[in-house]
Chains A and B, each alone.
Chain A
Amino acid sequence: MSDKCKSPLKTALHGMDERAYKMMAMYLQGPCKEAAVVVEDLKAEIDIIDADSVKAKTLLEQRLTESARPIIALSLQELTFENILYVKKPVKTSDLLFALSEARAILSVKKKSDNQVNTCTQNTASRQSQNPVTKPESLLDTVKKQATNTDEQKKTSKHQTAMQLDEGKFNAFIGSVPGLDVNDPKQFPDAAYNPKDYFQGYVQSALMVAEAKKQVMRLNSGWKPLIIFPHNHEIWLDADDKQLRAFAGVGMNKISGPGMTLTPEESIAASVQESLEKFHDQDAFLWKLAAWTSKGRYPGALDINRPVFLKHWPNFTRLVVTPHALRISALLMASPRTLPEIAEVLKIKPQYVFVFISSAYALGLIGQAKREASGSRYFCESFYGHPCPTSGKSYATANACGCPSRPASFVGYPARGIQHHSRNDSTRCRKACIFTTQKALRENTCAIASGDYSTPVSQRMKSFNHQSSKKLSNRVC
């Protein structure tokens, strides 16, 4: 965003005589295009100090200890203070504008942080925000630490890295339903479950109510109280994963169901504010709750014979990564598929597809394509937001899906993708990376033959097959 779109920074000038003061005010208004405007000290957002003035040292020290405002110091010599923005004299417009943009950035971070503090548990944060600026740190660091941090960083559950499950750990971690083989196509109709019959359904309803009312709510289940903080998109629960996993699988029958109540939480208990590690990100919580409720089944609201699509990638680094979840996501981002089709195309057990779909569905990331658009005919417009061009990746991708938005024969051959692997239908869904043009092939034949990895993308990716991805996956898990 250009500075023109922003309001001028309110600036107080220090250490300048009347003439220099006026000159600087005009300089900010003219050459600096009103990036800043001079105001009286009390109303200022930042300070500009002439660090070569007689009282400069005192002024700087005073400002650093008494004010958390960003400071820009103008000087002929490089200054030793670390927590100021320095502009060397003679002042160049570009340098001063850069310093002003940095000051704006610092203010923005501070403002953001203050907002967070206001919406978070308040005691600790308010103490933190009163801390004076400490000298050894940069101003930006100090601002970051003052407000953003302490509380947010202590919410360890929110920021811990993802757990990646491989196939071997699936049953132990996710569980299964006795007497049901979800991997048997004949039993697919029985492999559906209704989240409303479980704790998951109540949590989802409670989240919707809290979000609609924008109010902190407590879900009383007769088990452990669960508190929803809609403003921060957080959930607080005094239970560990083992306890939650066990409770997730318990069906809520008609007796226990009515016992559930949702009440506004007027004041947050000190015990909640102190147990920051029990805060969960709402999405991460719901994701794992759905996985544990599913136990390898799929939500009954989905028609297993109609293609589903993924609205966007889940934030996998903060979720439980179920087996093949990344591959399923990549496939669904490319085109809609039915659940059995996903398992078939990726050659994986349906239970891995079902559990992923259950979690993604709980987060609202799964949509079900309408029958008339269930093919890939409208792939480009639906998923890339624009029609296929005459050549290039989108066209090739659509073509790869077997349903370009215009017939391939309408496109001249040099621009049309050449399908290197067209043995069977499964290749139709390869991404555009396996396509290239004849011209590119001719030009790069030698490089391709030599195995040089600096060959065109289409050829490079042709060789980057699933095996490579799998090796990477195995290596890093």
Chain B
Amino acid sequence: MSHYKIIFTGPVGAGKTTAIESISDIAPIKTDASASDMTKTKKSSTTVAMDYGIMNLTGGEKIHLYGTPGQERFDFMWDILTTGGIGLILLLDNTRADPFQDMKFFLDSFQKFIAETNVAIGVTQMDLSNKPTINDYHSQLRAMGIKPPVFSVDARVKNDVSLLVQSLLYSLDPGIEA
């Protein structure tokens, strides 16, 4: 029985916890605490250690889903959580002041992990703010020398999160052995 591990990361409020909730086959384990800093202007609680969920595949295989805390002060958790991972899902909130800055920050922070594995990017809240566009993200990424999947994602919608996860997995292996 094989087990794989995927890490969800991104800034506060990008939808990491929600995305894991959407796609997990178990009730996700959350480590939410009441927001005591400026995060409370965005939401009442925030992840302080990690989120955890599981996707069960046929044949007993499992994909373990780990969500990192969004706040930089918990960045010590990031290295811990990426250990053993096969890929990274980066969720970005399109209503933030500078989502490109967020993207660069997280791609830099997880640079080593991404170099060893792969990354897929989900842009959330595009129904609230449709700029920058997905093409704008691709332009930024092209300048950075990478071409990961970038999808518009509603973290509450299982199908959206599922497609993002699938794109990550196929990026790792398009399935040539079939």
A positions within 8 Å CB-CB of B: 1, 85, 98-99, 101-102, 104-105, 108-109, 112-113, 115-116, 138-140, 144, 148-149, 152-153, 158-159, 161-162, 164, 232-233, 312-313, 315-318, 321, 326-331, 333-334, 345-347, 383-386, 392-393, 426-427, 429-431, 433, 451-457, 460-461, 463-476
**B30 close to chain A: CB less than 8 A:** no
Chain A residues near B85 (CB-CB < 8 A):
457
Total inter-chain residue pairs, C-beta < 8 Å: 213
Check A453 against B5 for contact (C-beta < 8 Å): yes
10 A-B pairs closest in CB distance: A454-B84, A466-B175, A105-B97, A476-B162, A330-B170, A330-B174, A385-B145, A453-B3, A313-B149, A471-B57
Check A429 against B176 for contact (C-beta < 8 Å): yes
Check A140 against B41 for contact (C-beta < 8 Å): yes
Chain A residues near B57 (CB-CB < 8 A):
468, 471-472, 475
Closest A residue to B178 using CB positions: A466
Check A138 against B129 for contact (C-beta < 8 Å): no
**B111 close to chain A: CB less than 8 A:** no
Closest Cβ of chain A: how far from B58's Cβ, in Å? 5
Check A148 against B175 for contact (C-beta < 8 Å): no
Per the bound structure, the CA–CA distance linking A452 and B59 in Å amounts to 17
Chain B residues near A433 (CB-CB < 8 A):
117, 172-173
Chain A residues near B129 (CB-CB < 8 A):
109, 112-113, 116, 144, 148
Check B160 against A317 for contact (C-beta < 8 Å): yes
Chain B residues near A105 (CB-CB < 8 A):
96-97
Check A329 against B170 for contact (C-beta < 8 Å): yes
Check A453 against B175 for contact (C-beta < 8 Å): no
Check A315 against B152 for contact (C-beta < 8 Å): yes
**B27 close to chain A: CB less than 8 A:** no
Given contacts A393-B115, A461-B86, A476-B162, contact A331 B3 (CB under 8 A): no
Closest A residue to B148 using CB positions: A313
Q: Mark B25-51, 1 if CB is under 8 A from A, else 0.
A: 000000000000010011000000000
Per the bound structure, the CA–CA distance linking A327 and B14 in Å amounts to 27
Per the bound structure, the CA–CA distance linking A315 and B151 in Å amounts to 5
Chain B residues near A158 (CB-CB < 8 A):
127
Per the bound structure, the CA–CA distance linking A116 and B131 in Å amounts to 9
Check A464 against B147 for contact (C-beta < 8 Å): no
Chain B residues near A473 (CB-CB < 8 A):
166
**B159 close to chain A: CB less than 8 A:** yes
Closest A residue to B165 using CB positions: A472
Per the bound structure, the CA–CA distance linking A139 and B41 in Å amounts to 8
Chain A residues near B172 (CB-CB < 8 A):
431, 433, 461, 464
Closest Cβ of chain A: how far from B164's Cβ, in Å? 7
Chain A residues near B38 (CB-CB < 8 A):
85, 98-99, 102
Interface residues on B, range: 35 or more
6 contacts between A and B (CB under 8 A): A328-B174, A346-B175, A426-B176, A464-B86, A465-B175, A466-B173
Chain A residues near B175 (CB-CB < 8 A):
327, 346, 465-466, 469-470
Closest A residue to B36 using CB positions: A78
Chain B residues near A312 (CB-CB < 8 A):
138, 141-142, 147, 150
Given contacts A385-B142, A451-B2, contact A327 B84 (CB under 8 A): no
Chain A residues near B116 (CB-CB < 8 A):
393, 456-457
- A469 CB contact (under 8 Å) in B42, B145, B151, B170: B170
Q: List CB contacts (< 8 Å) of B1-28 with chain A.
A: 1-5, 23
Closest B residue to A331 using CB positions: B174
- A476 CB contact (under 8 Å) in B64, B152, B158: B158
- B133 CB contact (under 8 Å) in A233, A385, A464, A471: A233
Per the bound structure, the CA–CA distance linking A330 and B170 in Å amounts to 6
Closest Cβ of chain B: how far from A212's Cβ, in Å? 17
Per the bound structure, the CA–CA distance linking A101 and B146 in Å amounts to 29
Chain B residues near A116 (CB-CB < 8 A):
129-131
Check B142 against A466 for contact (C-beta < 8 Å): no
Q: List CB contacts (< 8 Å) of B86-130 with chain A.
A: 86, 95-98, 101, 115-117, 126-130
Check B128 against A108 for contact (C-beta < 8 Å): no
Per the bound structure, the CA–CA distance linking A471 and B126 in Å amounts to 30
Closest Cβ of chain B: how far from A90's Cβ, in Å? 17
Check B167 against A329 for contact (C-beta < 8 Å): yes
Closest Cβ of chain B: how far from A83's Cβ, in Å? 8
Q: Which of A144, A392, A472 has the most CB of B within 10 A?
A: A472
Chain A residues near B98 (CB-CB < 8 A):
1, 108
Chain A residues near B5 (CB-CB < 8 A):
453-454
Per the bound structure, the CA–CA distance linking A251 and B23 in Å amounts to 43
Check B173 against A138 for contact (C-beta < 8 Å): no
Closest B residue to A426 using CB positions: B176
Closest A residue to B121 using CB positions: A313
Closest Cβ of chain A: how far from B133's Cβ, in Å? 7
Per the bound structure, the CA–CA distance linking A164 and B157 in Å amounts to 14
Check B159 against A476 for contact (C-beta < 8 Å): yes
